[in-house]
Structure 1
Amino acid sequence: MERTAAVWGMTTAALAVSASAVVISVSGTAPGTASFWRCLMALPALVPAALWERRRSGAPSRRALLTAAVAGVLFAGDMLLWTQAISEVGAGLSTVLVNLQVVLVPVLAWLVDRERMTRSFFVCAPVMLAGVLCTAGLLDRAPAGADPVWGTVHALLAALCYSGFLFLLRRGGQGAPPVQPYVLVMVAATVASLAAGAWWYGLDLTPAAPALGWLALVALSSQIVGWLLVAVCSPKLSSQLGAVLLLLTPIGSVVLGAVVLGEHPSPWQLVGCALILAGAFRLAVARK
């Protein structure tokens, strides 16, 4: 029963997060602004939940809190780089590229935990790399996106940060109360987004009311619902099943990008998208 609830929780989380790329694009805000405000506006709802958990289950260990702080910094890097990629390669394709985490997380598990690499990894990784090249528009005369090459670079760097974030979020949530570390993830991400946004990615501390409204929607769908559910549910599932369920995020983003934003990837970019998703799915279900 607990596993079934976790599956539905992860499914809900993936679909909730899938809308964030489109909503951020509609908001028209810079990466620093979007990353800072989406985390900050989630805290008033998350902090009471953390205090309730603390009274009920006690405080997490110092190691869990340190892991959460590092995960928060990586999450900020993921948000900043990915938001930059949205304007360059599109909401849908940028989200597909970021989900190369299905390849990168096993590499982290091998490097850190000495988890065995399977034959499927070495078969699927080149297929997904070919998908990246197609998605970047290297085979097109007029690929979709304002700057698909740099968009791909930023999305791949975001994938590295995203992979580290997921690895630490799942690892830190095993055998520990999940909400308190997650709130620390959001606090660390808020501070890191504030610092990096002011330095590089553009930060507006007084965005217009319409933009703030869109970012509040992202905070609700992603930070309060989506990623909190991932923090709670992912430790209860195998890494393989969790990875498969998170693939609903890029699929939803591609569909919403086409319907809401009118994004029309080129045929080669769609081929690249399909290669990445097919390789990621095969890799996830084959990791045993």
Structure 2
Amino acid sequence: MLGSRKKSQGGAPGEVERGRGLGLGLALLSAVAFGGSGVAAKPLIEAGLDPLHVVWLRVAGAALVMLPVAWRHRALVRRRPALLAGFGLLAVAGVQACYFAAISRIPVGVALLVEYLAPALVLGWVRFVQRRPVTRAAALGVVLAVAGLACVVEVWSGLGFDAVGLLLALGAACCQVGYFVLSDQGSDAGDEAPDPLGVIAYGLLVGTVVLTLIVRPWGMDWGVLGGSAAMDGTMVPAWLLICWIVLLATVVAYVTGVVAVRRLSPPVAGVVACLEAVIATVLAWVLLGERLSAPQLVGGAVVLAGAFIAQSSTPVKPQPPADPVPDFEGELSRSGGAA
């Protein structure tokens, strides 16, 4: 009984810290994996592929890789259909479609900044919808991360007002909120929690279906995939870049990201995810020769500071009440003595 009660209260402090450390490491790995998607996608786009076709290849390829996992967890279709549909529509198709539609109307930096307002929106969701406590550290981390992102993307160089473009970017932010909130579903359910790999596998399948209807990939220039694309003057096989986008920037990114949210919390994981824009900028500097300015370097440091502050203090999730202790003495007095 003592062992089971200890388990229900979250385990020893050392175990909690190790789990949180693992969650932070996974969140960082997810940010690195997601951040590398643009570096691999840009040469393909410059070689002649439409950006939305690259997105479709990314999601459809990842869905194909995860197909055996989907078959293994096919019971989820019956048990959690709403979760799978929501993850596919919001976390996979919604974020991609809204973001790429936004950058067709407004500068990439502005779209990125609006999209990464998602951590602030997550805080609002947790505080006012779920009515769970939010620490000052998490709130301060969000403020610093958004301010730092403004410097990283140099938002002042592309300021302009396009109502439709800004609404699309805000739609991408809302879909990203769905990613963090849905990823946290089942984190308190113990053995009944849906397996994150199954959720991701079916989310990718749903996203593929939705994006197929939007993108219509049968009009793609498939010949580009058999050639090479230039990465800062170096010719790289297109198939290698596709593998990078599918395996690292999608499969690894989603798997580590969802597991990280369950080990941390949506607000903290959201702030750490802001590092994706910093990592993408640094990788573009190293691999594509896109130089960084002084404000971008300062902004990257501010984002790092915000992520560190946010993860340093997180609210403890409410625990179920302990088992009541039987009142043996009262029972004995009411029954008239011992047997």
Identify whether the pair has TM-score above 0.5, normalized to the shorter chain.
Answer: yes
Deviation at 1:219, TM superposition (A): 0.9
Q: Does 1:17 align with 2:34?
A: yes
Q: Does 1:27 align with 2:47?
A: no
Deviation at 1:265, TM superposition (A): 5.1
2:64 pairs with 44, 47, 57, which one?
A: 44
2:282 maps to amino acid: V
Q: How does 1:253-264 map to 2 (within 5 A)?
A: 253-264=280-291
Seq. identity, %: 24
User: TM-score, with normalisation over the residues of structure 1?
Assistant: 0.74
Highest CA radius of gyration, 1 or 2? 2
Return 5+ residue gaps in structure 1 as ranges. none
Structure with more helix by fraction: 1
Q: Deviations over 1:168-188 (max 9, x none)?
A: 122256522222221111012
1:282 maps to amino acid: I
Distance in 2, Cα, partners of 1:254 & 1:177: 33
Return 5+ residue gaps in structure 2 as ranges. 1-14, 230-237, 316-339
1:158 pairs with 172, 176, 180, which one?
A: 172
Q: How does 1:119-158 map to 2 (within 5 A)?
A: 119=136, 137=154, 139=156, 143=157, 149=160, 153=166, 155-158=169-172
**Contact (CA 8 Å) 2:180, 2:266: kept in 1 or not?**
no
Q: Could you say what secondary structure the match of 1:67 adopts?
A: helix
Q: How does 1:19-98 map to 2 (within 5 A)?
A: 19-28=36-45, 29-53=49-73, 59-60=75-76, 62=78, 64-74=80-90, 75-83=92-100, 89=107, 98=115
Deviation at 1:284, TM superposition (A): 4.7
Q: Give the paired residue count.
A: 274
Q: How does 1:233-248 map to 2 (within 5 A)?
A: 233-239=260-266, 241-243=268-270, 245-248=272-275
Whose RCO is larger (CA < 8 A, sep 6+)?
1
Q: Could you say what secondary structure the match of 1:179 adopts?
A: helix
User: TM-score, with normalisation over the residues of structure 2?
Assistant: 0.65
Distance in 2, Cα, partners of 1:279 & 1:203: 44
CA RMSD, Structure 1 to Structure 2 (Å): 3.8
Per the alignment, residue 224 of structure 1 pairs with 251
Per the alignment, residue 182 of structure 1 pairs with 200
2:220 pairs with 202, 205, 214, which one?
A: 205
Q: Could you say what secondary structure the match of 2:184 adopts?
A: helix
**Contact (CA 8 Å) 1:68, 1:168: kept in 2 or not?**
no
Deviation at 1:17, TM superposition (A): 1.9
**Contact (CA 8 Å) 1:247, 1:281: kept in 2 or not?**
no
Q: Could you say what secondary structure the match of 1:82 adopts?
A: helix
